[in-house]
Amino acid sequence: MKSEIRQNKATKQWVIYAPARRKRPKDFQKTRKEMITPPERDENCPFCPGNEQMLPQVITEIRDRSSWRVRVVPNKFPALTPGGSKERFSRGLYVAMQGYGHHEVVIETPLHNRQPAKMSVREIGAFIDVYHRRYTDLLKKNENMMILIFRNHGMRAGTSLIHPHSQLIATGMVPHHIRWREETAQLYFDEWGRCVYCDILTHEQEERKRIIDENSSFTAFVPFAAEVPFEIWIMPKRHKADFGDISNREKTHLASCLKLVLERLHDTLNDPDYNYIINTSAQYRAREPQLHWYLQIRPRLMTFAGFEIGSGISINPSLPEEDAAFLRQE
């Protein structure tokens, strides 16, 4: 098969598919030496029960009768802090601002070695509920222009602590990357009068070549123009721009879909490193009809080289249709 170049309908980004560089799915698997089985509790881990003296404070938590299930704490080494101002100032030719924002850690479980791929739907649902609580609380502050919820799993994905956790960062500005995605969706809506993400979802449901899992609220699929092998989008069927609008029923369905997808990645690729991000609207754009939130998973199976860095175009040796079939275990 010859190379093919595909365009991401939502961003207009191009992706090169190079079958000549194709690897078998098993070539992406971690080796046994890379797979580590940590203990249930680590006395040196600040996120483990009994080590609360290592934490700056506890912002909130969900508790069972005997102990906590999910806990939110400030990041001990924050990228941004709430004490500053979001006012811009000049430095000669340049513009700058203080490092205003919030940087929190969602500790997903008391167990040091219980990653989401092996959690129950109820356990995953508990930390999704906490995502939602902190997201809505922080958006009540007018200074917080954008909130990004993300998870880094594994050393290649940027994690520094093994204990299962996610992070949440609120910023006083909206990055160009987010604005660009919003503006591209706006152009599509202005031309066609429809949400580009709804159109993508409809097409994926009709073709069914790249779908991995589906329930009454969400569809998980490998996107047509996936930038990396085994990239997955989990997209709500209900058109909403803002993650804050998720219902309790949808939280349960998202937990079910996320569990299945992460479990498939874990079992078929030997627990690959990955990042996931909840892509949602910025502050004040939550009711706009062109935007649609979704959760994006990007396994860390490749390293970008000179062409990708210089051009901004990804080279993916793995075809989305084959990745989806492999994850469906066909």
pLDDT in tens, 71-108: 999 999 999 999 888 899 999 999 998 999 999 999 99
In a domain, 32, yes or no: no
Amino acid at 322: E
Amino acid at 160: S
In a domain, 31, yes or no: no
Residue 174 phi, psi (nearest 5): -110, 120
Mean pLDDT, residues 157-171 taken together: 95
Q: What is the reported pLDDT for 302?
A: 87
Mean pLDDT across the chain, nearest whole number?
92
Q: What is the reported pLDDT for 35?
A: 60
DSSP conformation letters of 19-69: GGG---GGGGSPPGGG-----S--TT-TTSTT-GGGSS---EEEE-SSSEE
Given pLDDT bands bounded at 50, 70 and 90, which one contains residue 286? confident
CA nearest neighbour of 24 among 264, 232, 323: 323
Helix (H) / strand (E) element for 226: namely: none
In a domain, 165, yes or no: yes
Decide if pLDDT at 293 tops 80.
yes
In a domain, 49, yes or no: yes
In a domain, 28, yes or no: no
Q: What is the reported pLDDT for 25?
A: 61
Both tokens of 92, joined, read: 């000669």
In a domain, 152, yes or no: yes
Is 112 considered catalytic here?
A: no
Count of domains for the chain: 1
Provide long-range contacts, Cβ within 8 A and 24+ apart, for 195-201. Answer: 195/239, 195/289, 195/290, 195/291, 195/292, 196/9, 196/10, 196/290, 196/292, 197/10, 197/235, 197/291, 197/292, 197/294, 198/239, 198/292, 199/9, 200/9, 200/10, 200/224, 200/235, 201/235, 201/237
Looking at the chain, the whole-number percentage of residues with pLDDT higher than 70 is 95
Mean pLDDT, residues 236-253 taken together: 97
In CATH, what number is assigned to the domain containing residue 171? 3.30.428.10
In a domain, 311, yes or no: yes
Mean pLDDT, residues 153-166 taken together: 94
Give the pLDDT confidence of 197-213 residue by residue, as tens digits: 999 999 999 999 999 99
Separation of alpha carbons 289 and 224, rounded Å: 23
Out of 132, 165, 253, 292, pick the active-site residue. 165
Separation of alpha carbons 144 and 6, rounded Å: 35
Residues spanned by the domain of 55: 4-23+42-327
Give the pLDDT confidence of 298-327 residue by residue, as tens digits: 999 988 889 898 998 999 999 999 999 999
Both tokens of 173, joined, read: 């500005």
CB atoms within 10 A of CB 300: 17
- Altogether, the residues listed in the chain come to a count of 330
Mean pLDDT, residues 115-135 taken together: 97
3-state secondary structure of 142: coil
In a domain, 35, yes or no: no
